[in-house]
Amino acid sequence: GAGVSQSPSNKVTEKGKDVELRCDPISGHTALYWYRQSLGQGLEFLIYFQGNSAPDKSGLPSDRFSAERTGGSVSTLTIQRTQQEDSAVYLCASSLQPSSGANVLTFGAGSRLTVL
């Protein structure tokens, strides 16, 4: 597509439930990133995918968080047994092959998660 697409745009769930957030990157972009933006906070790196390489999961805050990327395209971020502190906007970004770090990330509009 023309941009990074994320769904749902808004999700309200009850504490303890599992949620799945979806990201559809720009066609041809091999790198995909998930970030979390809590209220009034900066963007916190969660996970990075590049092609068929093992993902960089160093930013995942707990084992309740996981993500996968199927076929090198669409990615799903799963949060199990949600807690109130998981409430945030989850942003997905994609870029062409990152190589040197000079690549520009293109962000989606985000998925706003509210855990009651």
- Provide the binding-site residues for other proteins, judged by CB under 8 A: 31, 33, 35, 41-45, 48, 50, 56, 89, 91, 93, 95, 98-110
Query: Shortest Cβ distance from residue 8 to other proteins (Å)?
Result: 14
Do β-strands 88-95 and 31-37 pair in parallel, antiparallel, or remain unpaired? antiparallel
- Classified as helix, coil or strand, 86 is helix
Number of H-type helices and E-type strands within the chain: 0, 10
Burial of 104 (0-12, 13-18, 19+ CB in 10 A): exposed
Nearer to other proteins, 81 or 97 (CB): 97
**Which residue number, 27 or 100, has a Cβ lying nearer to other proteins?**
100
Tokens of residue 62, six digits: 């707990």
Question: Shortest distance, CB of residue 16 to other proteins, whole angstroms?
Answer: 27
Q: Minimal distance in Å, beta carbon 22 to other proteins?
A: 16
- State the nearest-atom distance from the C-beta of 114 to other proteins, in Å: 15
> For other proteins, which is the closer residue by CB, 40 or 71?
40
User: Which two three-digit tokens encode residue 5?
Assistant: 């697409």
